[in-house]
Amino acid sequence: METVSENACFGGVQGVYKHRSSATGTDMTFAVFMPEEAKDGPVPVLWFLSGLTCTHENAMTKAGAQTWAAEQGIAIIFPDTSPRGEDVADDEAYDLGQGAGFYIDATQEPWSKNFKMWTYTAEELPALIAEKFEIDMSRQSITGHSMGGHGALTMAMALPGRFKSVSAFAPICNPTQSDWGRKQFAAYWGDETKWGPHDATLLMKSEGFDGPMLIDTGTNDQFWDLLGAEAFAAAFAAKRQEGIVRFQKGYDHSYFFISSFMEDHMNFHAEALWA
C-alpha cells in the first residue's frame, strides 16, 4: 500500500492511499479519515460509497463528514467507484464504464476483466483496511450517495451482520425498474435473469435490514424519476423496517444537499456504532 498524501484534519489524519487490487486487476485509490482517538486504539468505521462519475475525492472534500466524524471518534473510508486506467473498458456515456461501477461484479465482456466492484468493496478493501489501520471491524456502518446509496443499501441487506446501521442520500433504490440500473445491469450482466439480488427495493421486500436505516432524498432532486424512492418507501413500510425515510423539501441531488444533512447521518451512525 502506497501513501499518496496525509493531512492533519480536525485533530486526526485525512489520508489517500493506493494499492494493486487483485479483484479489479488495476491500481485502486481510496481515502481514509482517522480521528484522533485512533492513536489510542481501534475505532469504529463508516463506509461512504460515492455516486456516478465520482472518485474517492468527491465525498472526501465536499461532504463535510470529517467534522462530525472527529466529534464522534469514528473513521471514514471513501473507496473509488470503479477500476480505472488506459487498458480498462469504458464508454462515452457518463453512466457506464469508468466512474460507474455500480458496486457489482460484471460477468459480460469487456467489463468482466476489471469491473469487480462488489468483490473489491465488500471483501478485498475491508481486508486491507483491517490489516493496515487501527479500525474495529466488528463496528462498521455504511452510507452512500446516489449510485453509492444503491451500493450501501444492497451491501447492508445482502451481508447480514456486517453493518450496525445503514443510511443513504438520494439512493438509486429500484435499479431493475430504472434507466439508472437496467442499462448498466444489461451491459455488465447480460440477460435479465442473471441480474441477481442487487436491487434495494427487492431486497427490502425479501430480506430487510436487521438494524436502523436512515434515507434522505430531496423533493427537488433532478433525478427523482431515476431513483425509485417511492417504490422503496412502500417496501420499507410494508416490511415494517426499523428506521426513517425522509423527503427533504427543496433539496436537490448535489453535495450541498449531502453536507446539509451529514451531521444527522453521522450522529445516527454514532449511536449504533457506540452502542
- Residues acting as catalytic residues: 146, 221, 253
Find, among 109, 106, 132, 136, the residue nearest to 118 by Cα.
Answer: 106
Residue type present at position 274: W
With cell 433504490, the residue in question is 173
Which cell numbers hold the place of 1?
500500500
Cα angle at 262 between 260 and 267, to 5 degrees?
130
Which cell numbers hold the place of 145?
450517495
Compute CA distances 231 → 55, 245, 254, 263, 274, whole Å: 28, 12, 22, 27, 32
- What does the DSSP 8-state code read for residue 220? T
Alpha helices in the chain (DSSP H): 57-62, 65-72, 117-119, 125-132, 147-158, 179-189, 200-206, 224-227, 229-239, 255-273
Question: Using CA atoms, how far apart are residues 103 and 227, in angstroms rounded to an integer?
Answer: 16
Question: Using CA atoms, how far apart are residues 100 and 170, in angstroms rounded to an integer?
Answer: 16
8: enclosing H helix or E strand:
strand 2-9
Question: Using CA atoms, how far apart are residues 150 and 105, in angstroms rounded to an integer?
Answer: 14
Residues present in the chain in total = 275
Q: What is the biggest distance separating any 2 CA atoms in the chain, rounded to whole angstroms?
A: 51
Compute CA distances 81 → 112, 121, 142, 194, whole Å: 16, 9, 15, 22
